[in-house]
Structure 1
Amino acid sequence: MAKSNHQEGDRSATGEKHKIEHEAPPNPQRVKVEKQQTLEESLNKDKDEKSERTDNTKSKQEDELEAKQESAVMPGEEPDVPPNILEKGIIYFFIRGRVNIENPEAVDDVARTFILLRPIEKDAKLGDGPIGDARNNRLIALPKKKLPVGGNDRFMIFVEKSNASFKDLKKSFLDGADYETKTAGTRHTPAAIPVGEGVYALTTTGRESHLVYMLTIPEKLGSAQEGLGIKEKGSFIISTKNPNYAGPANARLPESPEFPTEVIDEFRSLRWLPSKPIHLDYPNAQLLLVGESSGVEKALEPQEKDETNSAENPEEFVESLAEEDFQRMRHLSGHQSESIYADLQARAEGYPQLKTAF
Structure 2
Amino acid sequence: MTTTTRSSVRRESSSQSQNGAAAGSKHELEQQPSPNSKRSKKGDTIPSPTEAYGDGKHIPRPSRQKTESNANGIGAKPEKKTTDQDQNQNGTAEQTGARNIPIPSNVLEKGLIYFFTRGRVGIDEPHSIRDIRRSYLVLRPLSQDAKLGPGTIADAGTSRLIAIPKKVLPLSGRDRWVAFVEKSHASFQVLKDEFLSAEDYTTETAGVRHSPAAAPVAEGVYAITTTGRESHLAYMVTLPPELGEVQEELGIKEKGSFVISTRNPQYEGPKGAALPQGPEYPKDIQDEFRSLRWSSTQPKHLDYANTQLLLVGESSGIEKATTTPASPSSTKPQKGQEGGYGDGGGKQPVAEELETLEDEDTHRMQGLPGDDADAIFADLKACAGEHLGLRTTF
TM-score range, shorter chain: 0.7 to 0.9
Q: How does 1:268-307 map to 2 (within 5 A)?
A: 268-304=290-326, 305=330, 306=332
Match of 1:164 in 2: 186
**8 Å contact from structure 1 (residues 175, 192) kept in 2:** yes
| CA distance, structure 2, for counterparts of residue 125 and residue 192 of structure 1 | 28
Q: How does 1:309-324 map to 2 (within 5 A)?
A: 310-312=339-341, 313-324=349-360
Match of 1:340 in 2: 376
| CA distance, structure 1, for counterparts of residue 370 and residue 180 of structure 2 | 34
| CA distance, structure 1, for counterparts of residue 250 and residue 272 of structure 2 | 22
**8 Å contact from structure 2 (residues 54, 292) kept in 1:** no
| CA distance, structure 2, for counterparts of residue 289 and residue 321 of structure 1 | 24
| CA distance, structure 2, for counterparts of residue 2 and residue 77 of structure 1 | 41
| CA distance, structure 1, for counterparts of residue 147 and residue 158 of structure 2 | 18
Match of 1:256 in 2: 278
Match of 1:70 in 2: 91
Match of 1:177 in 2: 199
1:113 aligns with 2:130: no
Q: Secondary structure at the match of 2:312?
A: strand
Report the AA paired with residue 192 of structure 1.
A
Q: Secondary structure at the match of 1:92?
A: strand
Return closer, same or farther for 1:246/1:103 CA change in 2, 3 Å cut-off.
same
Alpha-carbon shift at residue 68 of structure 1 (Å): 7.8
Match of 2:269 in 1: 247
Deviation per CA, 1:20-78: give whole Å up to 9, x if none. xxxxxxxxxxxxxxxxxxxxxxxxxxxxxxxxxxxxxxxxxxxxxx9983110001111
Match of 2:361 in 1: 325
**8 Å contact from structure 1 (residues 9, 271) kept in 2:** no
| CA distance, structure 2, for counterparts of residue 249 and residue 289 of structure 1 | 16
| CA distance, structure 2, for counterparts of residue 80 and residue 8 of structure 1 | 32
Deviation per CA, 1:290-347: give whole Å up to 9, x if none. 0000110111012333455744211011100000000000001121111001101112
1:200 aligns with 2:222: yes
Report the AA paired with residue 301 of structure 1.
T
Report the AA paired with residue 377 of structure 2.
Y
| CA distance, structure 2, for counterparts of residue 337 and residue 252 of structure 1 | 34
| CA distance, structure 1, for counterparts of residue 276 and residue 109 of structure 2 | 29
The TM-score, its normalising length taken from structure 1, stands at 0.81
Match of 1:6 in 2: 52
| CA distance, structure 2, for counterparts of residue 213 and residue 67 of structure 1 | 27
Alpha-carbon shift at residue 4 of structure 1 (Å): 1.9
| CA distance, structure 1, for counterparts of residue 363 and residue 152 of structure 2 | 12
| CA distance, structure 2, for counterparts of residue 201 and residue 272 of structure 1 | 21
Match of 1:127 in 2: 149
Match of 1:45 in 2: none
| CA distance, structure 2, for counterparts of residue 168 and residue 354 of structure 1 | 21
Which of these two proteins has the greater Rg computed from alpha carbons? Answer: 1
| CA distance, structure 1, for counterparts of residue 159 and residue 54 of structure 2 | 34
Report the AA paired with residue 324 of structure 1.
E
Q: Secondary structure at the match of 1:201?
A: strand
* Runs of 4+ more than 3 Å apart: 7-10, 305-311
Q: For 2:250, which of 215, 228, 232 is the aligned residue?
A: 228
| CA distance, structure 2, for counterparts of residue 323 and residue 289 of structure 1 | 27
| CA distance, structure 2, for counterparts of residue 300 and residue 126 of structure 1 | 20
Q: Secondary structure at the match of 2:286?
A: helix
**8 Å contact from structure 1 (residues 157, 288) kept in 2:** yes
Report the AA paired with residue 272 of structure 2.
N
- For the aligned residues, what is the CA RMSD? 1.9
- Identity score, percent: 52
Q: Secondary structure at the match of 1:90?
A: strand
**8 Å contact from structure 1 (residues 9, 270) kept in 2:** no
**8 Å contact from structure 2 (residues 139, 160) kept in 1:** yes
| CA distance, structure 2, for counterparts of residue 173 and residue 67 of structure 1 | 28
The TM-score, its normalising length taken from structure 2, stands at 0.74
Q: Secondary structure at the match of 1:129?
A: coil
Gaps of 5+ in 2: 1-46, 57-86, 342-348
Q: Secondary structure at the match of 2:225?
A: strand
| CA distance, structure 1, for counterparts of residue 121 and residue 89 of structure 2 | 38
Q: Secondary structure at the match of 2:135?
A: strand
The count of corresponding residues between Structure 1 and Structure 2 is 303
